[in-house]
Amino acid sequence: MSKEDKRTPPPAPEPLPAPAVDAHTHLDACGAREAEQVRAMVDRAEAAGVGRVVTVADDLDSARWTVEAAGWDERVHAAVALHPTRAKDFGEHERATLRELAHAPGAVAVGETGLDYYWDFSPPEPQQEAFRWHIALAKEVGKPLMIHDRDAHEDIVRILDEEGPPETVVFHCFSGDAEFARRCVDAGYVLSFAGTATFRNANARGLREAAAMVPAEQMLVETDAPFLTPHPFRGKPNEPYCVNYTVRDLAELRGEDVAELAVATTRTAERVFGLDPAGVR
């Protein structure tokens, strides 16, 4: 793919036959910084049938921004946390700020938090300490915990067991195989699938097997935009409207009707994040 091709976003798809929710995106990282830009980006998503988005923070500035953005547009909801790769900088100021933001009306989740053993920006110990703190915060505010899990399945599950999980746990951009998915489903956790679940390479085989077997009532769809653009547009810029492609691909994988999967995952999102079924907070 040429540099020019990589800069060209995927085409606007035919609208979904039923509305979907992008359960995890980063509108600020996609380039939407002002209210007008946010509205334009969500308008593009809604035109594709993706009527609501959860925009997720990875540091304090982003956390403040997501809560502010949730006030600009009723289709936008916020999740706040410090990303595990930034956990070495997790002090009292960060904790106090995140606690205040997590109580904000526009914040619907504590995330993304968890463990990332792929990158070496933060050692495991501060990551695990921060993860435990975020678990406690999710319980305190009564909002779902949104987990980032990269090469850390066993420690994630162990710490959840040790601390006692909050009522709702979401594995964002689920990256396990069918066996790990079954363990998470049996524990009552919700699994959110991004564009990686549509990839066709050998490494995605186990993930696609997981996506095929998760009950719809424990399943979400997401973009993680601007990253992880779904097949067949891998490597191009990602935006919330591209959830459309993921829903269609997963419906085919699961042998389900596209509308039925969109409705089912939207119901899951409404339950998990406390969204009004009419789409108005």
77 is in an annotated binding site: no
Query: Is 224 annotated as contributing to ligand binding?
Result: yes
> Is 231 labelled a binding residue?
no
**Separation in Å, CA 118 to CA 56, 84, 112, 124:** 20, 11, 16, 11
User: What burial class does residue 213 get, using C-beta atoms within 10 Å of its C-beta: 0-12 exposed, 13-18 middle, 19+ buried?
Assistant: exposed
Is 148 marked within a binding site? yes
Token readout for 64 is 């403040």
Find the angle CA(52)-CA(96)-CA(163) to the nearest 5 degrees.
Answer: 80
Please tell me the distance from the alpha carbon of residue 51 to that of residue 47, in angstroms, as a whole number. Answer: 8
- Partners of residue 147 on adjacent β-strands: 113, 171
172 annotated to bind ligand: yes
Beta bridge partners of residue 193, listed in sequence order: 221
CB-based contacts of 76: which residues, under 8 Å, 6+ apart?
Answer: 27, 38, 42, 52, 53, 55, 69, 70, 106
Q: Is 93 labeled as ligand-binding? A: no
* Binding-site entries: 24, 26, 112, 148, 172, 224
* Binding-site entries for a divalent metal cation: 24, 26, 112, 148, 172, 224
